[in-house]
Every structure is written in C-alpha cells, then in structure tokens.
Amino acid sequence: MITAINCNGERLGAELAHLATITEATPPAVTRVVFSDADLRARNYFKDLCRKAGLSIREDGIGNIFARWQGSDPESAAIGTGSHTDAIPNAGLYDGVVGVLGGLEAIRILQEKGFKPRRSIELLMFATEEPTRFGVGCLGSRALAGTYNEEKILSLRDEEGNGARDCAKRIGLSGEFNALMLPENYYGAFVELHIEQGPLLEKVGLPIGIVTAIAAPASLRVTFEGEGGHAGTVLMPDRKDALLAGAELALAVDEISRATGSADTVGTTGMLQVFPGAINSIPSRCTLGIDIRDTQLETRDLAVAGVKLTAQEIAARRNLPITIETINSDLPATCDARIIAAAERACETLKLKPLKMVSRAYHDSLFMARLFPTCMIFIPSRGGVSHRPDEYSSPEQIARSVEVLALTLAQLAE
Ligand SMILES: [Zn+2]
C-alpha cells in the first residue's frame, strides 16, 4: 500500500477556477445546464485534461463520459470514480466538479507516484445530474443503472418542448439511448468524491466524511378539488375550501415524518399551489408537492403510506375529490463495507480523522449503488452552504480529500 501521497493543490485549483469561468451566469455564479453551450465547452475542457493524463475516452449517447486509466489486468472489473459538472442556475463551483476534477487529480498523483493499477481506474463524468432541464435528477446515472430506459428518456421534454435526443444531438452526441445500461460486472467498486452540502463536518470539526448510507426521496403530488366562490357571499357552512385540506395535509406530513421512529425520516411540503389565488376568492383547487426521505426504505415508505392515507381521510371528511400521484420513489442505498474500510485506511495513512455519516442529499452514487459496491467521500462545506455562488471548500480541504480518494482507489485497484 502507498504510504504517502501529495495532491498538487495548485494545479487542481487552477482547473477548478478555469471550469468556473465556463458559465452562462455572471461569475462567480455558475450556471451550466446540461446540453447547453457551456455544458459542451465544459465537456471539451474535461476531455482535453483527461487526454493529457493519458486516459482513453468514451462518451455514451446521453453524454456520460468515461475516461479510463488502463490497468495491467483489463479482464477484471474496473474501479470507478467521478461525479457531475452540470450546475443549476446561479450555483457555485464545487458541487459535482470536485468529484470530477478531483478524481482526475487523484489519478494523476497516483500516476506521478509510479503506481501501476492492476484493475483499470475509470473516471466518470455523469450527464445531467441536476434536474434543471428535464425535471428529473441523475438522468445519466439512472440510465447507466437501467432504472431509466430508452422509452422513459425519450418521453422527457424540457421547457421549450425539446426531447433529450434532439438536445443531445445538438451538442454532438449520438442521442442513442438503447444501450446505456452498464453490465453488472462493469465496476468492482465505485467511489464518488463530493462536497457535503450540509453543515455536519464543519460542526464537528472533522476534515473528511465517509458516507455509510445515501437517503432517497419519494415525491408525491396531491391535488384537492374544492368549490370556488366569492369570499363575501358564500357562508361558512356552504364552503368546500381546497386550501384548508392542503393546509391540514402539510401539517400531517410534518407530524408523520417525526413519528416513524427513524431520526433520518424527513418530510417536506415544498410546493403549495392555490387556484385561482385571489384574495377575495375561495380556493377551488390546491396542489401540494411533498418530498419524503430516509436512509431506510421501510421507514421512508411507512411515512409515504401514512401521508397518502391521511390525504384520503382529509378528502373524505371534507368531501373533496382528490388525486395522488407518485412522481418518483427511489431506493435508498447502503454503502459498501469494503470500500468504507479502504477509505478509513486511507484516512489513517494520511493522519486524518474521518466522520462516518449519512448523505441526506442524493447523488449519482445512489444509482450506481443499484449495480455496484459504492461509497462516497465528503468534503466539508463552509456554513453547510450549497447550490449558491458562495458555496466554498478550502483548497486545503479539497487537496486532503483528493489524497484520501487516491489512496482508496489505489487499494481497490491493487
Ligand atoms: Zn452534486
């Protein structure tokens, strides 16, 4: 096992800074929506860096980029690492990007150290992790894991009505979605480096997080149909106010999520649409967007079932028609014990004390975990802030995490 390694923080810092200038927003804000010109330029920059590092590049029909450092035993399953470079409007420069450029830096410092991997090490840049264009997150990794097939991808439209195939072709991709799924023995292990996007590491004062489980969301859209009317003339006993049903349900989401017995259950009503939305008009329709997450499927689904049942009860009691749609229901993931142990050994070698923690945001790794042993390494986020231009992790924190990643990959590829 390698006992010392040094990340070239300057080189990585310069590349992070350069990638941040490829944006549709005014710097320092980063906006890089998938299949946009900025996305294309970021891809070209990334591929260029990979070529300079001697990696062989493959790009699939939806834009996942695979950059491979060939090992001495190409028959064995490769070790994967990577993340995404697309960014929501007005984002910062670290989300996803540190896992891509940091993954490249990890490979380069292993190369410079003279390390010869037995298994190939493959760096992945996932296409369209953010849901900005098509309303669904992690589309690239969903496709690789086979949870989104060609038909499902083709059914997606962006706000202008463009399909994924046309968008992909516009930036020079094939737009072929029929063979995106990876074979089950493709990766022997997958490790994603990512910023925490939360406050925990900073709070406990530890430099690195090793993720043991990734929470997964289920989201529901619930609509109550009431009866509209004049706010002055319809007397209280005659009303069918849809908003009141919605308000009851929002309170119930909170209550149910607190009562599952799992501290990891979280429930949020993040959207409440009231129609027609006039001050002197009784709400005739109310739609709620509800997000429920947990690291355990049982308690997550217990909360989801409770919310659906309560919604039905409210509708029955208030005598209102109701529709409940499940928008998505992803499986939570447990991280692989062998990769966790490798990451712990890497931290020990580097004299860093890690925190074992849960990822409460979801990532491409959630979908990679469907097929492959998977784990994530977290970097502290200043103030827990993310998806904002002032998102920040220090060069020192990033460099240390890249070293942890490098030593973890080296063990897995040996
Ligand atoms: Zn991300």
List, for residues 182-211, the tens digit of each pLDDT value.
Answer: 999 999 999 999 999 999 999 999 999 999
Measured in Å, residue 239 CA sits from the centre of ligand 1 at: 46
Does the structure show a pLDDT above 80 at 330?
A: yes
Residue whose token pair is 């320092």: 28
Q: To 10 degrees, what angle do helices 395-413 and 97-112 make?
A: 60
Domain 9-215+332-413 bears CATH identifier 3.40.630.10 = yes
Residue whose token pair is 């959207």: 271
Percent of the chain with pLDDT over 90: 89
Q: Which residues pair with 375 in a beta bridge?
A: 191
| Confidence at 3, pLDDT banded by 50, 70, 90 | confident
The pLDDT value given to residue 174: 94
Q: Domain spans of the chain?
A: 9-215+332-413, 216-329
CA 317, CA 249: separation in Å to the nearest integer?
Answer: 12
CA 110, CA 52: separation in Å to the nearest integer?
Answer: 15
The CATH classification number of 216-329 equals: 3.30.70.360
Measured in Å, residue 165 CA sits from the centre of ligand 1 at: 23
- In this structure, the number of other CB atoms found within 10 A of the CB of residue 9 comes to 16
* 72-101 average pLDDT score: 94
CA 337, CA 359: separation in Å to the nearest integer?
Answer: 16
List, for residues 39-56, the tens digit of each pLDDT value.
Answer: 999 999 999 999 999 999
Measured in Å, residue 229 CA sits from the centre of ligand 1 at: 45
CA neighbor of 313 nearest in space, from 231, 232, 248: 248
Burial class of residue 396 (count of CB atoms within 10 Å of its CB; 0-12, 13-18, 19+): exposed
Measured in Å, residue 192 CA sits from the centre of ligand 1 at: 10
The pLDDT value given to residue 35: 93
The pLDDT value given to residue 193: 98
* 122-145 average pLDDT score: 93
Measured in Å, residue 358 CA sits from the centre of ligand 1 at: 15
Q: For residue 383, how many C-alpha atoms fall within 13 Å in the half-sphere facing its CB? A: 8
Measured in Å, residue 234 CA sits from the centre of ligand 1 at: 50
The pLDDT value given to residue 4: 85
Measured in Å, residue 135 CA sits from the centre of ligand 1 at: 15
The pLDDT value given to residue 136: 86
Cis peptide before 276 (omega within 30 of 0): yes
The helix or strand, by DSSP H or E, that contains position 391, with its residue range, turns out to be none
Measured in Å, residue 62 CA sits from the centre of ligand 1 at: 18
The pLDDT value given to residue 27: 87
List, for residues 23-35, the tens digit of each pLDDT value.
Answer: 999 988 999 999 9
* 292-311 average pLDDT score: 95
Measured in Å, residue 13 CA sits from the centre of ligand 1 at: 18
| Confidence at 89, pLDDT banded by 50, 70, 90 | confident
Measured in Å, residue 168 CA sits from the centre of ligand 1 at: 21
CA 188, CA 186: separation in Å to the nearest integer?
Answer: 7
The pLDDT value given to residue 232: 95
Measured in Å, residue 254 CA sits from the centre of ligand 1 at: 26
The pLDDT value given to residue 62: 95
| Confidence at 362, pLDDT banded by 50, 70, 90 | confident
The pLDDT value given to residue 246: 98
**Mean pLDDT, the chain, whole residue set:** 95
Measured in Å, residue 33 CA sits from the centre of ligand 1 at: 13
The pLDDT value given to residue 131: 86
Burial class of residue 116 (count of CB atoms within 10 Å of its CB; 0-12, 13-18, 19+): exposed
Measured in Å, residue 130 CA sits from the centre of ligand 1 at: 7
List, for residues 225-251, the tens digit of each pLDDT value.
Answer: 999 999 999 999 999 999 999 999 999
Measured in Å, residue 256 CA sits from the centre of ligand 1 at: 29
Does the structure show a pLDDT above 80 at 1?
A: no
Does the structure show a pLDDT above 90 at 161?
A: yes
Phi, psi of 372 (to 5 degrees): -130, 155
Single pTM value for the model: 0.88
Alpha helices in 126-283 (DSSP H): 139-145, 150-154, 164-170, 200-204, 242-258
